[in-house]
Amino acid sequence: MNATDATNDARTPAGQDRPALCPRCAHEEITAVADSPVPGVWQVFQCARCLYMWRTTEPARRTTREAYPVGFRMTAADIETASEVPTVPPLLNR
């Protein structure tokens, strides 16, 4: 277990498991970034690779790899070759 795992485990409320995979890109490095004001109600996680974020109370199609829509899934290659959106326009000439 590395330091990241220890941090996540400490912040995971009872009854909620830290996801093993990012729902969008299947990356395994998931970080807990926020907890509900009332402890143990929900948690927000973020993927370290694609930066996708989700709250544990969202439906399975947003929170699990198995139910995430196939058309919106990403691979490492998709992320590396993604175009810059929006592009930065050229400077105006005066």
The binding site for Zn ion (CB under 5 A) comprises 22, 24-25, 27, 47, 49-50, 52
Tell me the CA distances in angstroms from 70 to 23, 53, 85, one per residue in order.
10, 17, 22
Q: How far is the CB of 60 from Zn ion (least distance, A)?
A: 16
Q: Give the E-state strand segments of 1-94 in sequence order.
A: 30-35, 43-47, 53-55
Backbone torsions φ then ψ of 78, nearest 5 degrees: -60, -45
Choose between 49 and 56: whose C-beta lies nearer to Zn ion.
Answer: 49
Choose between 41 and 60: whose C-beta lies nearer to Zn ion.
Answer: 60
Choose between 25 and 32: whose C-beta lies nearer to Zn ion.
Answer: 25
Q: How far is the CB of 93 from Zn ion (least distance, A)?
A: 40
In this structure, what token pair is assigned to residue 67? 């139910």
Q: How far is the CB of 73 from Zn ion (least distance, A)?
A: 9
